[in-house]
Structure 1
Amino acid sequence: MTLPALFIAHGSPALAVESNDYTHFLNQLGDRLPAPKAIVVFTAHWDCPEPSVTMDDTHQTLHDFYGFPSTMYTMEYPASGQPGLANEICALFTRSNLAHQPIRGRGLDHGVWVPLLHMYPEANIPVIAVSVDSLRTPQEQYDIGRMLEQLRHDDVLIIGSGGTVHNLRLLGNTDEPQEWAVEFDNWIGERLQQWNTRELFQYEKKAPHARTAVPSYGTEHIAPLFYAMGTADMSRSAKRLFQSYPYGTLSLNCWQFGDGV
C-alpha cells in the first residue's frame, strides 16, 4: 500500500485544545487515511544543520511554548517510537552520502504532537521526528525528502509540519483573510499543483509578499513543505485539502502529495 505525503500547518499550540473547522478536518483526515504502520514527521520546531532522527522506543511530550492555558502543559501524547524504522531512515541518508545524527531522548515537540493529537488521538501509531534545516535551499530540502520516498510504499505516512504564511508579528484580530496572505498562498498553491519546482524553489524572489509571509526569522516553517513534497517526486501530484486564515494571516492549510490512497 502506498500512502500520500502530507504538509500540515500546525498553527498555534492552542490548536491542541481548540475545536473548529480545522481540527474537525484533521479528525476526519485521520479517519479517511488507511492506518499507517508508522508516522515520520519533518517538524519546523527542530531546526539544525544535519538531519536528526529520533531513535527512541518511547517519547516524552515537549511543551515547547509559553503563555498558554495551564491545562496544555499537562497534555501528553504517549506515542511510541520505532527504532528499526529510524535506523532505516538513517541508512537511506547514508546511501545518499548525507551526514545525519541519530538522537535519543529529545521528545516530540508541538509541531509533531499537536496535529497528531487530532488525527490519531489514541496515540497508537509509532512516531519518528526528523529535523529540518532552514538554511538549506528549497531544492536541497526537496532532495532530502526524496531520499525517503520509498517509505511511502511501505505503509509509512510522511508529514511535513509547519506553515506557509507564519508571521506571528502580523496576526490580526479577525479571521477575515488578509489579501497579501491569500495572494502568497495562491501563488505557492498554483506552482504546487503544476509541480513547477523551478519557480517554487525561487519563491523568495518570485512570490508576491514573500518577505512578509515568510520573514527571515521564520523560514523554518515553510521548509517542511519542501521536505514532504520531495517524498512524492515520482508521482508529482499535489492537492490542497484545506485552507483557512485564523487571525487573518495565520495560514492553516493541508496539502496532499502523491497518488497514494
Structure 2
Amino acid sequence: MTMTNFDLQPAVAQRWQALQQTLADIAHRYPDAALASSLAAEDMVLTHAIYESGLALEVFTLDTGRLHRETLDMLDTVRQHYGRELTVYRPDEDAVHAYVRIHGAHAFYESLELRKACCQIRKVDPLKRALAGRGAWITGQRREQAATRGTLAEQEQDPVFGLYKFNPLASWSQDDVWHVIRALGIPYNPLHDQGYPSIGCEPCTRAIRPGEDVRAGRWWWESSDAKECGLHAGNRVIPVTAAPYKATSV
C-alpha cells in the first residue's frame, strides 16, 4: 500500500516535494522529455514520482538482451503496480550477431574497447533511437554513485546526444533513495536485496562485498574511472588507446 508523504522524514519530504516540482517543471518546459529507466532503485523513485503526479512524461527502458530475469520481471511489476506500460527499446539483432560472430559472446571481458563496443550496440544505439526527436531526457544518476559522477549537474546540455539532460536525483544520497522507497511503498528490483546496489547486464554485474563502493559490482575487472557504458559518456572523457569497434565494418 502506498503511504503518504507524511511518512517521510522532514528533510527527505522536502527533497521529495522538490523532486515532484522539478519533474512538473520539466514536463512543462519539455513535453516530449522522457525518463530513461534502468529499472533500478533511483529510476523507480522517479517513475513513482512521474506516475503518481499524473505527469505526461514517457518512461522507457533498454532491454539489452543480457539483463537479469529479476530486472525483466520489473516490467510486469510496474504494469501491475501502476497500470502503465514502459516503452522498451532493444538492440539491432544483426549488429549483436555480428559482434558475437567476430569477437565472441564474452569478448567484453577482454578489453575496454570491446566492452564499450558491446555497450554501444546493446545500449547506446537503442538509446539514440529512444531520444531521437526529443528536446530533453531524464536520468536517475547521483553524484555519490561513482568517481565519474562526482561533479554531476542537476541539469545540463548533453554533448553526446545533443539535447538537454536532467539528473534530478544528483544530490540525493543512497539513504534518501531507500527512505523514500520504503516510506512510499515503491516497488524495486529484488536484486537490491541480494547485494546489488547497481544493476546492469548480468555478465557485467556482480553483488558487492561489505564496504565496497556501490559501483564496484559493475565491470569489476576495469578501473573505477572508466565505469560508464556510453549512456552517460559526457560525465567524463576517457582516452581510448585503440580504434573503437564499428558495426558497419563487419
Q: Normalising by the residue count of structure 1, what TM-score does the alignment of the two structures yield?
A: 0.28
**More strand as a share of residues:** 1
Pick 1 or 2: higher relative contact order, CA cutoff 8 A, min separation 6: 1
**More helix as a share of residues:** 2
Q: Normalising by the residue count of structure 2, what TM-score does the alignment of the two structures yield?
A: 0.29
